[in-house]
Amino acid sequence: MSEEKQYRHEWKHIINTGDLYTIRSRLRAVMTPDPHAEGGKYLIRSLYFDTLSDRALREKIDGVNRREKFRIRCYNLDYSVIHLEKKSRLNGLGTKYSADLTAEETRKIIEGDIAWMRDSGRPLVQELYSRMLTGLRPKTIVDYTREPFLYGPGNVRVTLDYDIRTALQSTDFLNPDCVTIPAGDAGIILEVKWDAFLPDIIRAAVQTPGRQATAFSKYAQSRIYG
């Protein structure tokens, strides 16, 4: 299981289209586009997990200080590279654990065929197995477009996320034609992550006067219809 070495700071702001153009221009001047982004952007598809009682959703809405969520993720609908991820939050800081999955393993998880996970040899897969034994299940798909930027000092990552869509409660993750609809008026999300310090040049580039930090959750937004 791979993981980030420490909890990271995180800012999120909901911005408008004018902000997007301004901030994108600033970021291109001082940061490096993520080399994995084709044309500066990529599509992210995530399959989020939750319990029958929607524990993950309720903890997010209630602002529980210590919480975690599981998801399966791929980029540009490329099912040759799929990641199982667990994001943990504590005191406003976050860290992420990840493990690779094959498309066939992903299909089995979605269908509830999980016995193989116990002896997979991947700690995160084994942890998800134990959670699924106690009620965690695939819940819904969320798609969105991301523009990512990198800056070495401070290990800074800035992303611009938009066109957030939900598959309602469909879990048809491996179907590239899975129908999704706009997740309400989700807006554009500016997200800034860094380790020990945020360099002044990046702090200035992401300034959004009048925009307040938010605890926006794409998963919670995707559940607005139920």
What is the domain range of residue 206? 2-222
Instruction: Quote the pLDDT of residue 65.
Output: 81
CATH of the domain at 35: 3.20.100.30
Place 213 in a pLDDT band, splitting at 50, 70 and 90: confident
- For residue 121, give the DSSP letter: S
Three-state DSSP class for 64? coil
Give the residue-averaged pLDDT of 91-96: 86
87 pLDDT above the threshold of 90: yes
pLDDT for the residue numbered 4: 47
Q: How many domains is the chain built from? A: 1
pLDDT for the residue 68: 93
Which residues are CB-neighbours of 161 under 8 A, at least 6 positions away?
44, 144, 145, 146, 147, 188, 189, 191, 218
CA torsion 156-183-224-213 (nearest 10°) is 30
Residue 205, SS3 per DSSP = helix
Q: Could you read off the pLDDT of 129-151 as tens digits, one per residue? A: 999 999 999 999 999 999 999 99
Per-residue model confidence (pLDDT) at position 91 = 80
Percent of the chain with pLDDT strictly greater than 90: 81
